[in-house]
Structure 1
Amino acid sequence: MDFIDFCLFFPTLIFLRLWWRYWSRNASHRKNLPPSPPGWPLVGNLIQVILQRRHFIFLIRDLHKKYGPIFTMQMGQRTMIIITDSKLIHEALVQRGPEFASRPPDSPIRLVFSMGKCAINSAEYGPLWRTLRRNFVTELISPMRVKQCSWIRKWAMENHMKRIKTESVENGFVEVMSNCRLTICSILICLCFGAKISEERIKHIESILKEVMLITSPKLPDFLPIFTPLFRRQVKEAKELRKRQLQCLVPLIRNRRNFVEKGENNNGEMVSPIGAAYIDSLFKLEPATRQLGEEEYVTLCSEVISAGTDTSATTVEWALLHLVMNQEIQEKLYKEIVECVGKGGEIKEEDIEKMPYLDAVVKETLRRHPPGHFLLSHAAIKDTELGGYKIPAEAYVEFYTAWVTENPDLWSDPGEFRPERFLHGDGVGVDITGTRAVKMVPFGAGRRICPAWSLGMLHINLLLARMVQAFKWVPVPDSPPDPTETYAFTVVMKNPLKALILPRVK
């Protein structure tokens, strides 16, 4: 028996009787929960999940076939209600949005990085969340601000095109994901801090924020808090990582404050006018429930950069995978771009709205490869019912939205990549925000929909259009693209896409 087994076995024996008594005493409160796979005392279904030796999202694909559109997973002390049906998702998130708009408790490690849930994504439904979200919408994604910051996207896209051309010459191919992440991250850093910084610093920030996302993924103490003392090393590592996160972002915050308050710009990195950077609005924001300081600023800006970078870059990579594998789709998209702006014309943000096939390619990518198979965990604000079952206020309500896009009752040939379905097929008129109905919700729906979804769509469309206009993307000889999925905060390609680029004839 190794050390981990020892640590798991004996505490389990000690607490088994106490837990069983608790379980029996509170059985009446758990009546009428959705159906559940048989579980064990103390650990519920946790051991079965661990023994599967595959990611949770792949297990849920099997369980929903057996237990239906809504079922329960008892993961240690965490009760999870899994919802897979489009009508139930729409009812919960849109029709009864306020009832399911809160978030469940965070783990100790997550709280290290969220400053006690002081973040738009993790804040409980209430005054703090409303203040943070309202400020974000006004200061970062309003039409006026998007237009004002269009030069940032133009600058980043030009650097992107130069970089992939250089990489192609030096390596013989382009690795899509790393380049897209760097470009999107540079845009979001400039939007947040109003600063142009070197690629080395951008890569450093990106790597630290990636570490943050990975270290906050669920761990055993999240489900069985009695084991928390055994994970002191992980908590210590999280605190050390938080220090590194602060060390790389606080200087940007202080430089921006000096620029805003004193007009100082000693190193010339501050390029956005005062009031145009997201952090400028946070300096003067005063939520009723707490005071914001440098640590809260780091949390809020990191949230924007992390969420926007991964989802956008992942979507572009999946889109290019299908364009590489299906040259006919790629040529059809290229033809539309040329007809709109010409072979060498500049693609401006307003041009994106004139490219319906580009929009169809991106939407089909989001349908076939949603960045997350689950939405972020929700929680009911009080005990309620859904689908005829009880939903306790303390439960984690998990919306498995990937099944919605795979459901043959909603989509014809759901496994096929066919952008045309959004022009004249079952995708016509589909609302990706889920407001009218839920057929695909890549950004969530209702009160907790990603507030920057429209900005993300703009970045994805612009980047894809620029890359297809300039180059023809083809497979690397003897190394065809591999569509195998894996999970790394978002659902990504297990083997990152590499492709050859051939300059278009102008």
Structure 2
Amino acid sequence: MELIDLFIFGLAFIFIRLWWRHWSVTGGRPKNLPPGPPGWPFVGNLIQVILQRRHFIFIVRELRKIYGPIFTMQMGQRTMVIVTDSKLIHEALVQRGPTFASRPADSPIRLVFSVGKCAINSAEYGPLWRTLRKNFVTELITPTRVKQCSWIRKWAIENHMKRIKREGFETGSLELMSNCRLTICSILICLCFGAKISEERIKKIESILKDVMLITSPKLPDFLPILTLLFRREMKEAKALRKKQLECLVPLIKNRRAFVEKGENPNPNQEMVSPIGAAYIDSLFGLEPETRGPLGEEECVTLCSEVISAGTDTSATTVEWAMLHLVINQEIQEKLYQEIVGIVGKNGDIKEEDVERMPYLDAVIKETFRRHPPSHFLLSHAAIKDTELGGYTIPAGAYVEFYTAWITENPDIWSDPSEFRPERFLHGDGVGVDVTGTRAVKMLPFGAGRRICPAWNLGILHISLLIAKMVQAFKWLPVPDAPPDPAETYAFTVVMKNPLKAVILPRY
């Protein structure tokens, strides 16, 4: 009996040894996947990443130097193919867009908030995604709709200017990020629900949606869904937050539905101020995707939250980074001010068509996107079938992560990439650069191909109006003895670790 036990133990040892060797070389992956760091059994590279106690982007930068422009990491049950090369990114997203246009499986926590992936960002490439995206584009970002809703931006930005003036003069300085988030969030809430609501309610919605973004960011349970039962506390927290989100937004949906059903005219003294058909939610009431049928209140909450969250974070972050450089470099700020004055005058009203005639403002914004991309990765993509990229096999359903920050740092693409120099987009290596990546990938603030952010033009409009209005009205200066700190941190988007504070002086 002892010999049999020894024999079984020996076989088990040999099996474990061979299994370990297989995992350490391939992470349990097919042989033709891109190369990558050796992993551990079951968890792959997950524990190695956790033990480094650094943000994932710093690990990716180092692995790129070792394994090249495309490599693989096995993060628990997730097979992640990370692509960092501009030509490979262009090939995948633009030249072969449909092949890489899907999304991988969502984590249990993300599914709580997406109602089974019923969202433009997370839906798999197919009929549901096409229906939702087409409806969004038609109802929210056509030139006719953008023009029809220009009064919303005018109202919100006027309030913004009054608020920062009051804060700046009463306290001696102001914090920009919180003000920009509040303003952009108020615009998007009105675009979605056709409603003007109090700043207190806007702040509450903004806070809840920020928590939603943070709780749905990648966490340990996402990489090991087989152990979901061990993460009951995280799931309980997610469901409690979803309940708060519904309690906050469902009343707006119900009020808007009642307004639409009664066929009332908007009253500026009431909550509902947009005419019937002008609010995004109006289009969702009658929408029936073929794979789901009529949308309920939960789906409407998810779709409107998606618009508000994505538009608020990226736009407010970009405005803050742009204003940081205007505060640091007064020469750039003065040049922008002179352009604004030359087009609308010192006290002229800046209209939406005016910012389209400001090339230096456009250059400042593009340089901000290049120097401070809202995110270092695009949202996860997935191939719809087994395919090849860069000579390697990409399995269907694997997480394909496009690391786009390296592109904007690459000295082979950009001269002096660490410098903030808007002039490069007027006469330099930025002339003719396409921010959508259609012609070539040199920067991708909005993604590219089938999954490009459909509202990227609207986002640039909000950013342009805010910066132009603020620079026209005030001179922005650093707080004495407290210069701005450009250190970064991650909060869904890449933001300033210490929010920008500045002194404002009225221009006479």
Alpha-carbon distance in structure 2 between the residues aligned to 1:36 and 1:149:
49
Please state how far the C-alpha of 1:58 moved relative to its aligned partner.
1.8
1:316 matched to 2:319? The reply is yes
Please state how far the C-alpha of 1:18 moved relative to its aligned partner.
13
Alpha-carbon distance in structure 2 between the residues aligned to 1:468 and 1:312:
17
Alpha-carbon distance in structure 1 between the residues aligned to 2:161 and 2:22:
59
Alpha-carbon distance in structure 1 between the residues aligned to 2:206 and 2:22:
44
Alpha-carbon distance in structure 2 between the residues aligned to 1:500 and 1:321:
12
**1:273 counterpart residue number:** 275
Instruction: Give SS of 1:420's match.
Output: helix
Per-residue Cα deviation, 1:79-122 (whole angstroms, up to 9, x for no partner):
10000000000000000000000000000000000000000000
Structure 1 contact 432–441 (Cα < 8 Å) conserved: yes
**1:449 counterpart residue number:** 452
1:383 matched to 2:377? The reply is no
1:143 matched to 2:133? The reply is no
Alignment gaps of 5+ in structure 2: 1-14
Please state how far the C-alpha of 1:253 moved relative to its aligned partner.
0.4
Please state how far the C-alpha of 1:225 moved relative to its aligned partner.
2.1
RMSD over aligned CA atoms reads 1.8
**2:5 counterpart residue number:** none
1:78 matched to 2:41? The reply is no
Q: Paired residues, what number? A: 489
Instruction: Give SS of 1:502's match.
Output: strand
1:406 matched to 2:409? The reply is yes
Alpha-carbon distance in structure 2 between the residues aligned to 1:356 and 1:286:
43
Relative distance call for 1:78 and 1:27 in structure 2 (3 A) is closer
Structure 2 contact 167–174 (Cα < 8 Å) conserved: yes
Alpha-carbon distance in structure 2 between the residues aligned to 1:198 and 1:116:
32
TM-score, with structure 2 as normaliser: 0.94
TM-score, with structure 1 as normaliser: 0.94
**1:469 counterpart residue number:** 472
Alpha-carbon distance in structure 1 between the residues aligned to 2:19 and 2:227:
17
The amino acid of 2:260's aligned partner reads V
Q: Select between 92-101 and 56-65 the one with higher mean Cα deviation.
A: 56-65
Q: 1:394 aligns with which of 386, 397, 416?
A: 397
Alpha-carbon distance in structure 2 between the residues aligned to 1:397 and 1:425:
32
Relative distance call for 1:105 and 1:19 in structure 2 (3 A) is farther
Per-residue Cα deviation, 1:240-273 (whole angstroms, up to 9, x for no partner):
1101100010000000001111136798100000
Alpha-carbon distance in structure 2 between the residues aligned to 1:450 and 1:350:
22
Structure 1 contact 316–464 (Cα < 8 Å) conserved: yes
Alpha-carbon distance in structure 2 between the residues aligned to 1:394 and 1:290:
22
Per-residue Cα deviation, 1:137-177 (whole angstroms, up to 9, x for no partner):
00000000000000000000000000001111222111010
Alpha-carbon distance in structure 1 between the residues aligned to 2:57 and 2:455:
25
**1:337 counterpart residue number:** 340
Structure 2 contact 27–38 (Cα < 8 Å) conserved: no
Alignment of 1:55-454 (within 5 A): 55-263=55-263, 268-291=270-293, 292-454=295-457
Relative distance call for 1:21 and 1:53 in structure 2 (3 A) is closer
Q: Which has the larger radius of gyration?
A: 2
Per-residue Cα deviation, 1:374-413 (whole angstroms, up to 9, x for no partner):
0000000000000000101121000000000000000000
Instruction: Give SS of 2:92's match.
Output: helix
Please state how far the C-alpha of 1:41 moved relative to its aligned partner.
1.3
Structure 2 contact 27–40 (Cα < 8 Å) conserved: no
Alignment gaps of 5+ in structure 1: 1-15
Instruction: Give structure 1 regions of 4+ aligned residues with deviation exceeding 2 angstroms.
Output: 16-24, 26-29, 263-267
Structure 2 contact 447–453 (Cα < 8 Å) conserved: yes
